[in-house]
Amino acid sequence: MKASVVLAAITASAASAHTIFTQLTADGKTYGVSYGIRTPTYDGPQTNVNSNNMACNGAPNPTRPSDKIIPVTAGTNVSAVWRHTLESGPNDVMDAGHKGPVMAYLKKVSDAKTDSGVGNGWFKIQEGGYSNGKWATNVVIDNKGNQVIPIPSCIANGQYLLRAEMVALHGARSSQGAQLYMECAQIEVTGGTGTATPKTYSIPGIYKANDPGLLIDIYSQKANFQYVIPGPPLFTCP
């Protein structure tokens, strides 16, 4: 094959290999595709960490609003369900060559249906990077698209945006080469003790284009290298 043909084939497979957080499983119930989640129809990434669209996605992957809010009990695990497209099944989550970290954030809001998510108020509640030779994205793929997210027991009750995120680093050796995928679910937390006040951060703002976890040639690393997960520290209940 000519190099140009190989490159075209690689580009085509990469373009067809993106992902969307399409469904939420909470308190044992898996809701329908796009129920309570602002999903786009196109599965493309965000690549500019300074964009307002880093919060809850947006152009060039415009999202549709949802008028639903999903009840979630504090102290339980929810699953963000990832799929290649809105129509894909559990064996088509994302191309396994999309390797990188997986994270989840919460933001307390007064109206989860309308809050844009842009700006302060976010705290990280789950993260996975690279361990035992495996990337967190591959853990999610092997788990049939389920990103397991513990909802802290100590947070206050009320409405939140739940932002689930996967990052693909196959092109991250150049600036803005990292592909960030995120959607926001609209949830109402009950059963929280409200005893903690998490330190919060702004989105955009949590990432820099040259973060060691976002500007990295993953193919030139040692098998057991120490990967630095981007973003603020993980919040845990005291």
Ligand X SMILES: *[C@@H]1O[C@H](CO)[C@@H](O)[C@H](O)[C@H]1NC(C)=O
Q: Which residues bind ligand X (CB under 6 A)?
A: 76-77, 148, 150
Residues touching Cu ion: how many (CB under 5 A)? 2
Among residues 57 and 79, whose Cβ is nearest to ligand X?
79
Residue 148 interacts with, from Cu ion, ligand X, none (CB under 5-8 Å by kind): ligand X
Nearest residue to ligand X, by Cβ distance, number only = 77
- Please state the closest distance from residue 33 (CB atom) to ligand X, in A: 23
**Cβ atoms 43, 19 nearer than 8 A:** yes
Residue 193 interacts with, from Cu ion, ligand X, none (CB under 5-8 Å by kind): none
- Single out the residue of 12, 11, 87 nearest to residue 42, CA to CA: 87
Residue 139 interacts with, from Cu ion, ligand X, none (CB under 5-8 Å by kind): none
Q: Tell me the one-letter amino acid at 90.
A: P
Among residues 53 and 146, whose Cβ is nearest to ligand X?
146
**Does 167 engage in binding with Cu ion (CB under 5 A)?**
no
- Single out the residue of 61, 95, 113 nearest to residue 166, CA to CA: 95
- Single out the residue of 32, 36, 71 nearest to residue 56, CA to CA: 36
Residues 14, 142: Cα–Cα separation, whole Å = 19
- Please state the closest distance from residue 76 (CB atom) to ligand X, in A: 6
Tokens of 205: 């703002």
C-alpha neighbours within 13 Å on the C-beta side of residue 40: 20
By DSSP bridging, strand 179-190 and strand 158-168 are antiparallel
**Does 81 engage in binding with Cu ion (CB under 5 A)?**
no
**Cβ atoms 21, 82 nearer than 8 A:** yes
- The three-point CA angle 232-236-238 to 5° equals 130
**Does 17 engage in binding with Cu ion (CB under 5 A)?**
yes
**Does 18 engage in binding with Cu ion (CB under 5 A)?**
yes
According to DSSP, residue 37 is labeled B
- Please state the closest distance from residue 148 (CB atom) to ligand X, in A: 5
- Please state the closest distance from residue 61 (CB atom) to Cu ion, in A: 12
Residue 17 interacts with, from Cu ion, ligand X, none (CB under 5-8 Å by kind): Cu ion
Among residues 151 and 180, whose Cβ is nearest to ligand X?
151
Report the interface residues with Cu ion, using CB under 5 A.
17-18
